Structure 1
Amino acid sequence: MTGFASVQLAASARPGQAGLGLELRSVNSRFLDLAFRLPEALRTHEPRLRRLLTDRLQRGKVELRGFLLQEQTQAVAVPDAALLQQLSHVQEQVLAWLPQARPFSVAEVLQLPRGHGEESAELSWDDALENLAQTLVQDLLTARRKEGERLVRLLQDKVSQLRALAEQARPLVPQLVEQQRQRFLERWQDALAQAGHAGASSDGIQERAIAEATAYALRIDIAEELGRLASHLDEIESLFKKGGAIGKRLDFLMQELHREANTLGSKSATLELSRISMDMKVLVEQMREQVQNIE
């Protein structure tokens, strides 16, 4: 959702009127938050600009700034003699009544309006502002789309890393179950030997070992978590292909991914599985930060 766009309409394109500049900035936000910084001549157009932005944007903290552009010339516009004579007469009257008043400076005289036709009266910006704003929003959407494409490539790489970690975790559970069964058999045989029952039936020992291994397997089974994790990753890649406003859906999927990674850690029985769970949570957190930039 991060982006910037700027457009201008030169004063020379609208004789007798000032030029117009618009800037549009967008940063991350869960919702659409609009702010306007407009000169007084454009205040009446704020509702139209708000409707335009609301129709085209869904998320982001967006600021629209407008400013009037005066045509720059090298020559200084000198006031005519009649205006200077009138200003001199007014200044004499003011100083007669208010001796402490400060006389006009040259800079103040040059900044005075030059006539009724050149005053900053109500400007007719209907068509010009509409076209300029449409171009501005389109430029912002283009900038945001390019940023979104870059983020999608980054997130797809994270998805691939999560899949690789899931594949590393998948064979660990059967190995752990077999290790637990062998450990139980060894300890049981040692206990019987110490008690003087070395000739005890091996069938009973084997059945008990199988029961213990089964109970252990149920406690540490992560097949469901890995299945849901794969399903969430498939959904994320499907959203990437679909495009559009997918940010809120991705937010939800990040929460689900974090839940599955956290459950893997809680069921961990080895340092290797704990490491995989931690790596997954780091990746999910990195993805969550980037998802905030997607509309």
Structure 2
Amino acid sequence: MGKIIFLDIDGTLCNDAGLVPDSAKEAIIHAYERGHRFYLCTGRSKAEISDEVLALPISGIIGAGGGYCEIDGEVIFHHVFDSAELKKMIRFLEGHQIEYYLESNQGLFASAKLRERLIQLSLGDSAEESEEGQKKIAAIKWFLDLLIEDSSLIDYEDVNKLSFINHSVPYEVIHEEYDGDFHMLRSTVPAFGPDSGEIGLKNINKKTAIETVLEKIQRSKEDCLAFGDGNNDLVMFEAVGVGIAMGNAKDELKAAADEITLTHDEGGIAHILAKLD
């Protein structure tokens, strides 16, 4: 019987440009043909997962950091915010001049100046009209194209996570406001800056979602591998038999891993999958 393999996306399946290296694509297809099965396990909401990733032989999706799950196209669960609490949270962020986007299966809904802030972050010291500046903007175009800026289209009853891009107050101010009532996490996207982060539902994470998947498909923890790179993958490693940290992973995750592989662009996923039967 093949293994069950959980894949984080950013920094793991996808490189820093948001693309899946050819080595990973080929290795996943070959492993699937040998009987192994793959599940995405990502902080991204479903609307944020690219067609390139979805074209892989994926048996299921854990999204929104554990807030959403589907297996073979069937939605197993979808946890969402209380709309009143969400609107209160938005008022807090806007009062502190913090940009954000609401993550929903219907799309990613951006605050008024989020697009402008993301372009500024990408450019850094580069002039927008320079060739280097244009390349940096092109690298995030896929994400900018996902953003919906018409707030009248938001369904506040269907939001499963909130991500904030913050350069106004220390991260700790936001953490203190919401930790305990919600699941707080520093952003795993370095370009967003150290004071940015995510707000998710309490007691919902990658571990809880994996446990639900394994119960549903009647497989054991010992049958599972997981690939990750960020500290939000620490709980994912707790839910599987073997946790594999990418070569570009955070030091804390490497310390918790059963094995450390190469980076995404060096063929880290392919290196491990080649060792399966």
TM over 0.5: no
Q: Report the structure, 1 or 2, having the larger strand content.
A: 2
Question: What TM-score results when the alignment is normalised by the length of structure 2?
Answer: 0.22
The higher radius of gyration belongs to: 1
Q: Report the structure, 1 or 2, having the larger helix content.
A: 1
